[in-house]
Amino acid sequence: PAIDLDGLLASLNPAQHQAVTHDPKIPLQILAGPGSGKTKVLTSRIAHLILVHKVAPSSICAVTFTNKAANEMRERLNKLIGKSRTTALQMGTFHSICVRYLRMHSSVVGLEDNFTICDSDESKKLVMALMKPYKDYIIENDIAITEGSILSKISAAKAKGQSAAEFLKDVNEMERANRNNPRMPNQRLEGYKSFERILAEIYIAYEEVLKNNNALDFDDLLVYGVKLFGTHEQAVLWCRHVLVDEFQDTNTMQYQLMRCLGVRRCVSIVGDPDQSIYGWRSAEVTNLAKMRKDFPNTRQIYLERNYRSSGAILRTSLAIVEEDKKRIPKSLHTSHPLGTTPFLGVTANEKDESEMIAFEIKRSVAYMGGVLKWGDFAILLRFNALSRPIESALQKNGIPCRILGGHKFFERMEVKDIIAYLQLLDNPGFNPAFVRAIKAPSRGVGDKSLEEISLGAERSKNSQLKLVEKIVDNKTPDTKPPVKKKVTPFVKVFKALRRFNEEETLPSEIIRKLVNLIGYEDHLKKTQQDWESRWENVQELITFASEIEAEMIARETNVPEAQAGPDAPAKQSKLRHFLQCSTLSSAGDNESEEQNKEKVTISTCHAAKGLEWPVVIVPAVDSEIFPFYRTDDIEEERRLLYVACTRAQSLLYLLYSSKRQVAGKAKDKGLSPFVSVPLEKNPGLFSQTVPQFRANDRAVICQVLSRELPDEAEIQRRVKELEESREFVQPTPQTPSGQMATVALDGTRSSVLNVPVGAGG
Ligand code: ATP
Ligand code: MG
């Protein structure tokens, strides 16, 4: 296809143009607010490097924050520079890029190339086992410690690059300093262990277990990545250009990775300090300043025009974030019309709130016949658990929805069971997979036998799988016959699996054969009430595997010239690649974008970062939810609400509820201070009645249409057509109860009125 570089450049404003064409050799920071085209600029810059500077695509490393963002960037680039060039790019999250190169150069950093990636669930199980010896002590001494708190501390340490040994050293020093502190009498008790000491000991043991299992957790991918790229020149030779999106949310290890990859090369990053929302996961917004120190001649470019949101949405969002007094003010304006004022609504409880959401979505779709589709709506939540009543209200109203973010699909029991077999096939030393697989289906191997196997394996320095294989082959003298009988069929399954793998059977086919071999469908029927939907998930996993295979085959037949050198990636087994994709992919990735376009999106605010929708609904803007009552960083919570609001293009709803169930009890709630404070200063920020399409329809419709229709005249023609059609009649505006609670905006916010929708509109 003809590549229209001139068209691409002409579509940019002057600041964007400057950023895209900026000298590749001079480090670049693009700092700008939401919707200002940062991601668009980054994508265009990649195209420009390739088309104008003739940079080989395989020497460009483009880093996104999520897999979904990488897919979107890939889609945009497919159109700009063609599929074969896009495929050659080294694009993905920091984690996925690390995995790719760690596999190629595993021995350099002391890893075996078939290491397994432990997901958070598996890490949790490992820590739980390691906590066992401390259980009594923890209870006796009433120490507040859980596997969750341990894991998040370990993760924070790893994000800073602090090893277990260093962690222990710090604890030693701290205890030495506290030894004579009269306020800490415990310190001097015989056998006393502080939380920190227990933590350090478990951290050390955890690292050892991972090593013995030939496994890495998510944080390790970055730690080993830094080790590899920082010390092994050979591993970074391919890289000439590094581009990073959402830089404000990088942690220390990710920054180091960027530095290792980027040093003496060309670096461009884009970010927005106002959207830094991952402090709780050790992100360091100071990395922006650090970069200017490490790359002294860094050029900064600011973008000030927002292309995403209507004037009213931008005004309200800015009013929210400007209450952060420490924030550095910056300019952001839109050339979109003012449009519809964001709506602020209050309901009696979360059930009414959910019904109102469903009702409003239905009403908008009915009224905006043919313009707004389900896929144009997003419901953004402070945390996942808020979705349950909303999901059921949508379902009741026949509104299809999808849940974005998290690892939902791959967290399901049946999916994890099957994956465990494949993990074990790829890496026989990965004992957690052995423990899972041997129980699915149940083979009568109870916890006691498992413990015996585990001890026996440790003693004989075998993996657990190896040990049971030896038992079956009569190579271990001292095992009891019942154990042998129970594990024999399991060992047979593995013999067969290995043969399939050696014959290079595709993963989808291996799964198909595996579920037959172990009678998995029958097992589900016998043990699970909802076996049908679970069996569906197994089928879905097979579909997922086939998609990955198709992609891999396309990739193999499309090896770019630049990768054929000595630096070319080793061919990776299809099974291993499949496993990698399944541990790294998030929910939603397993559904095609086409399917998703027809569904309402439910997402956390965090996972919605970088995305946009015509209509955004933010429920639960309550006082204890924004800010979240357990937070220790109020400003980060405020920015989170700002991120949520700035996802909206044409319509924005904020909802709160006067009562909400918390842990089964109804509690009184009020409006979040993030909204009430700016609202008091300017009551015009929000509207008290739900959007009146009749008054504002033209602006909204034009904006929604302009995403698909490039031509202004075409849009006007379509709007006229719509206005004349019968579809364009506003349905009687009524909530399910016939009334809509609205809030009086005379500055008092005290009176909650029961006003029929549309009254006074
Ligand atoms: P965020 O901070 O939320 O990630 P962003 O700065 O990355 O936002 P983009 O997602 O790149 O912003 O762009 C926002 C929207 O504006 C997109 O739909 C994009 O296509 C559009 N856009 C950006 N620049 C232009 C332009 N020059 N002309 C027309 N549309 C543009
Ligand atoms: Mg972006």
Q: Is 272 in the pocket of ligand 1 (CB under 6 A)?
A: yes
Q: Is 34 in the pocket of ligand 1 (CB under 6 A)?
A: yes
Q: Is 639 in the pocket of ligand 1 (CB under 6 A)?
A: no
Asked whether this complex has an ipTM greater than 0.90, the answer is: yes
Which ligand 1 atom sits nearest the alpha carbon of residue 275?
2
What are the beta bridge partners of residue 618?
A: 654
Identify which of 9, 11, 40, 244 to mutate to test ligand 1's pocket (most ligand atoms within 8 A of the CB): 40
Rounded to whole angstroms, the Cα distance separating 575 from 426 reads 7
- In degrees and rounded to multiples of 5, residue 62 shows phi and psi of -115, 120
Which ligand 1 atom sits nearest the alpha carbon of residue 12?
27
Helices (H), 213-324: 218-231, 252-262, 287-294, 311-321
Identify whether 441 is preceded by a cis peptide bond (ω within 30 of 0): yes
Q: Is 12 in the pocket of ligand 1 (CB under 6 A)?
A: yes
Q: Ligand 1 center to residue 305 CA distance, Å?
A: 9
For 584-598, b where at least 16 C-beta lie within 10 A, e where not — what string? Answer: bbbbbbbeeeeebee
Measured by CA distance, the residue closest to atom 21 of ligand 1 is: 307
Q: Is 36 in the pocket of ligand 1 (CB under 6 A)?
A: yes
* Cβ proximity of 367 and 731 under 8 Å: yes
Q: Which one of the ligands is nearest to 17 CA?
A: 1
Q: Is 271 in the pocket of ligand 1 (CB under 6 A)?
A: no
Residue 558 has a pLDDT of 66
Which ligand 1 atom sits nearest the alpha carbon of residue 272?
2
The structure tokens 């090893």 sit at 163
Measured by CA distance, the residue closest to atom 26 of ligand 1 is: 12
Q: Is 245 in the pocket of ligand 1 (CB under 6 A)?
A: no
Q: Is 13 in the pocket of ligand 1 (CB under 6 A)?
A: yes
Q: Is 16 in the pocket of ligand 1 (CB under 6 A)?
A: yes
Which ligand 1 atom sits nearest the alpha carbon of residue 647?
3
What is residue 212's DSSP assignment?
H
Which is it for the CA torsion 668, 672, 677, 682, positive or negative? negative
Q: Which residues are annotated as a binding site for ATP?
A: 32-39
Q: What is the 3-state secondary structure (H, E, C) of 686-742?
A: CECCCCCHHHHHHHHHHHHHHCCCCCHHHHHHHHHHHHHCHHHCCCCCCCCCCCEEE
Neighbouring residues of 525: CB distance < 8 A, sequence distance ≥ 6:
531
Identify which of 9, 64, 308 to mutate to test ligand 1's pocket (most ligand atoms within 8 A of the CB): 308
Q: Residue 398 class from Cβ within 10 Å (0-12 exposed, 13-18 middle, 19+ buried)?
A: exposed
Neighbouring residues of 542: CB distance < 8 A, sequence distance ≥ 6:
508, 511, 512
* Cβ proximity of 716 and 386 under 8 Å: no
What are the beta bridge partners of residue 333?
A: 305
Residue 195 has a pLDDT of 82
Residue 533 has a pLDDT of 65
Side chain identity at residue 168, one-letter code: L
Q: Which one of the ligands is nearest to 611 CA?
A: 1
Which of these, 590, 597, 582, 589, lies nearest to 543 by C-alpha position?
590
pTM greater than the 0.90 cutoff: no
Q: What is the 3-state secondary structure (H, E, C) of 744-758?
A: CCCCCCCCEEEECCC
What is residue 336's DSSP assignment?
S
Q: How distant is the alpha carbon of residue 439 from its chain centre?
A: 30
Which ligand 1 atom sits nearest the alpha carbon of residue 305?
24
* Cβ proximity of 498 and 425 under 8 Å: yes
3 state DSSP class of 328: coil
Residue 660 has a pLDDT of 80
Identify which of 18, 39, 314, 376 to mutate to test ligand 1's pocket (most ligand atoms within 8 A of the CB): 39
Residue 445 has a pLDDT of 85
Which of these, 377, 366, 435, lies nearest to 404 by C-alpha position?
377
Measured by CA distance, the residue closest to atom 16 of ligand 1 is: 307
* Cβ proximity of 143 and 195 under 8 Å: yes
In terms of DSSP bridges, do strands 613-618 and 377-381 run parallel, antiparallel, or are they unpaired? Answer: parallel
Residue 407 has a pLDDT of 38
Residue 366 has a pLDDT of 77
Rounded to whole angstroms, the Cα distance separating 395 from 357 reads 12
In terms of DSSP bridges, do strands 299-303 and 28-32 run parallel, antiparallel, or are they unpaired? Answer: parallel
Which ligand 1 atom sits nearest the alpha carbon of residue 643?
3
Residue 499 has a pLDDT of 94
507-517 vs 481-502: helix axis angle to the nearest 10?
Answer: 150
Residues of the chain with pLDDT under 50: 1, 406-407, 561-568, 586-590, 694-696, 726-761
Q: Is 405 in the pocket of ligand 1 (CB under 6 A)?
A: no
Which ligand 1 atom sits nearest the alpha carbon of residue 32?
6
Q: Ligand 2 center to residue 65 CA distance, Å?
A: 10
The structure tokens 């959207």 sit at 275
Q: Is 610 in the pocket of ligand 1 (CB under 6 A)?
A: yes
Q: Which residues are annotated as a binding site?
A: 32-39
Rounded to whole angstroms, the Cα distance separating 29 from 301 reads 6
Which is it for the CA torsion 188, 190, 194, 196, positive or negative? positive
Rounded to whole angstroms, the Cα distance separating 758 from 761 reads 5
Q: Is 39 in the pocket of ligand 1 (CB under 6 A)?
A: yes
3 state DSSP class of 552: helix
Which of these, 104, 89, 61, lies nearest to 232 by C-alpha position?
104
